[in-house]
Structure 1
Amino acid sequence: MGTTFFVLALLQCALLFFLSRVGSRLDREERKPAPQRMHWPRTGLIVPAGGNHPRMREALESLLKQDYPALYPVIVTATADEPAAGIARELQARYPQLRHVVAGFAKGCGQKNHNSLKGVEAVEDEVELLAFCDSTHIAPRDFIRRLVAPVVDGEDFSTGYHKVVARDTGIVTMAYALCVQLMRYLQGISSFTQLWGGAMCFRLSAFR
């Protein structure tokens, strides 16, 4: 029994050391300037939205203010009269490049997936790449360039992950922040990487 606990403790220490190395690498990459290219492919930005999250308006506007030169943003809601649809129409008045698609209610799949597919239908004849983002996470101004760059460099898809900035030290807050950080670090290990629907980019051919 003692040997088992000793081996498990060693494995835990090895995992924590490995994750710390991954975390350091991710942090270094995050501090690098965003990639620069002479040409950026036409990219459809699909944002399924629903409800009335208190930061939704700010998050959506952060996506509409991206410094990506060939972005085709689409906000997709299930209905035309839900709160998220009202936010989309309000933003359209200030960002004329934005499209608002009303998807209708999903049948046979989740509403988010249904909304995403309807967003793809709206832009797939005009773009080379598809980027998908959540409607409630604040994006830095260079976020889309960072997300798209690996695909421009030859990958079929890329994925991101969100980071929690804790605003208090409550047990639930800290536990959530640590769990998300662990999953983010696991995303940095190729054998663990999974597409995260809150930030991913595909070549249109790969998506199809």
Structure 2
Amino acid sequence: MKTLFVLSALAEIAVLFALYFAGRKHVLSGMRLQPPLDRPPAKPLRAAMIVPVTGDTPTVRNGLASLLKQEYPGIRYVIVTRDEEDPATDMVRALIEGREDAVLLTSGPATTSGQKNHNLLAGVRHLGDWPEAYIFCDSSHLAKPDLAALLLEPLANEWAVISGGFHRVIPRDTVIPTLGMLNVCLALHCLQPIRAITQPWGGAMAITREAFEENGVAKVWAHNIVDDFSMGPLLAKKRIRTWPVADACLDTPLKAVKWKLWEDWLTRQLLYLKFCTPEMWLGALAVVWLFLFPPLAALGGVLGALLGCAGWWWLGAALAYAGGFTAVGMAFRNFSPRPMPLWHWMLGFFTTFLVTSWCYLRTWTTFTMSWRGISYKVTWGGRVVKVLRS
């Protein structure tokens, strides 16, 4: 038991530090703390931004408004809602009134895929052969005016045929679920520059129309639950990797996040992993072991020592583990967009590992995905078997 604890604890600390250093430069660039590279501007592409929207909330209004302010020559916007009954439809119509560069579409309810995919494909069909590149964005984040230019630069310079940005949570309070979502997003953000495993993020990604059509992305989306997690593995099989654009980072202000919202959101992300890349989902068992075994073994060892059932060695080992874990937490605290009190930060950081493990275990008991008021029956590969209306 002692040897297993030591090895697991050392592995956990080492993996977390490796993640931190792998993503440090990329994350800091996304926070605009690293100076941008001085490069000549690329030749503009004929580009269209397609944004699926549902609901009318301040978050959606502000996010969509920020996307519509892109400083990119000739860009067109296609905003897609489900139908006239969706509150987003009237909101979008009012927001783009009088604009010749933006159009509103209604796609109708999805029957063979996730509603987001259905909306995106409606935008693609509407554009026809005009664009040289598509930009796909979510409306629930705040974008800077150069987002389109940053995403399109690798495509225009022919460095890649697909590029991706990410987002950072801006915590407006110190409640544990808010900090938990921040920490999960930071971990995912740190993975972005690792080209061998990076995935495009559906909230901000660009792809050439040629690559989109030649690789049959539309065919996959037409029957899949998700856009990015289906596109990434599809292109990876053809040795096409996403070009991570550090500066193309959106802001996601959050406050007063509820525990259920955090758990449901995190479970949904892990379900995408299960459905679309089951080999990675199974491999995540080792990660969950590292998240759970060291703290539980340390706690059990300390209790055993205090009760006379285990040696006092456990007290020293537990303190050493706590010190190492705290060092990791303080390192990741440097990524927080806002200063955080150490106690609140460490409590949120530690809880993130427990909740992530719990949400992962939840994915073993279901093949149903729920999102934005609609439930879907999903099978391996992310294929939608049935759309279950709520």
- How far apart are residue 139 of structure 1 and its match? 0.3
Mapped to 2, the partners of 1:127 and 1:156 lie a distance apart of: 14
TM-score, length-scaled by structure 2: 0.51
Q: Is the 8 A contact 2:46 2:130 kept in 1?
A: yes
Deviation per residue, 1:34-78 (Å, 9 max, x gap): 865252101110000111232211111111111111211110011
Mapped to 2, the partners of 1:38 and 1:183 lie a distance apart of: 29
Most deviating of 152-161 and 22-31:
22-31
Who is 1:101 aligned against?
Answer: 105
Deviation per residue, 1:7-29 (Å, 9 max, x gap): 22222222222222233211443
Deviation per residue, 1:133-183 (Å, 9 max, x gap): 001111011111111222223201111221101110001111111111111
Give the SS at the match of 1:52: coil
Who is 1:33 aligned against?
Answer: 36
Most deviating of 90-99 and 192-201:
90-99
Mapped to 2, the partners of 1:40 and 1:140 lie a distance apart of: 18
Give the SS at the match of 1:76: strand
Give the SS at the match of 2:44: coil
Who is 1:173 aligned against?
Answer: 178
2:87 is the alignment partner of 1:83:
yes
Most deviating of 6-15 and 31-40:
31-40
Who is 2:271 aligned against?
Answer: none
Using a 3 Å threshold, how does the CA distance of structure 1 residues 192 and 38 change in structure 2: closer, same or farther?
closer
Mapped to 2, the partners of 1:135 and 1:101 lie a distance apart of: 15
Give the SS at the match of 2:182: helix
Q: Which runs of 5+ in 1 are unaligned?
A: none
Using a 3 Å threshold, how does the CA distance of structure 1 residues 54 and 206 change in structure 2: closer, same or farther?
same
* AA at the equivalent of 2:70: Q
Mapped to 2, the partners of 1:3 and 1:150 lie a distance apart of: 48
- How far apart are residue 189 of structure 1 and its match? 1.6
2:58 is the alignment partner of 1:54:
yes
Mapped to 2, the partners of 1:67 and 1:22 lie a distance apart of: 31
Where does 1:1-208 land on structure 2 (aligned, <5 Å)?
1-30=1-30, 31=32, 32-33=35-36, 36-154=40-158, 155-208=160-213
* AA at the equivalent of 1:182: A
* AA at the equivalent of 1:206: A
Most deviating of 150-159 and 19-28:
19-28
Mapped to 2, the partners of 1:28 and 1:151 lie a distance apart of: 23
| Count of equivalent residues | 208
Mapped to 1, the partners of 2:74 and 2:192 lie a distance apart of: 28
Q: Which runs of 5+ in 2 are unaligned?
A: 214-390
Deviation per residue, 1:175-205 (Å, 9 max, x gap): 1111111111112222221122111111101
Q: Is the 8 A contact 1:40 1:69 kept in 2?
A: yes
Mapped to 2, the partners of 1:95 and 1:105 lie a distance apart of: 26
* AA at the equivalent of 1:12: E
Q: Which has the higher contact order (CA 8 A, sep 6+)?
A: 1
* AA at the equivalent of 1:83: P
Give the SS at the match of 2:149: helix
Q: Is the 8 A contact 2:27 2:189 kept in 1?
A: no
Kindly report the root-mean-square deviation, in angstroms, between the aligned alpha carbons of the 2 structures.
1.7
Most deviating of 51-60 and 100-109:
51-60
- How far apart are residue 94 of structure 1 and its match? 4.8
TM-score, length-scaled by structure 1: 0.92
Between Structure 1 and Structure 2, whose CA radius of gyration is higher? Answer: 2
- How far apart are residue 89 of structure 1 and its match? 0.8
Mapped to 1, the partners of 2:47 and 2:83 lie a distance apart of: 25
Give the fraction of aligned pairs with identical amino acids, expressed as a percent. Answer: 38
Mapped to 1, the partners of 2:6 and 2:157 lie a distance apart of: 45
Give the SS at the match of 1:163: strand
Q: Is the 8 A contact 1:51 1:83 kept in 2?
A: yes
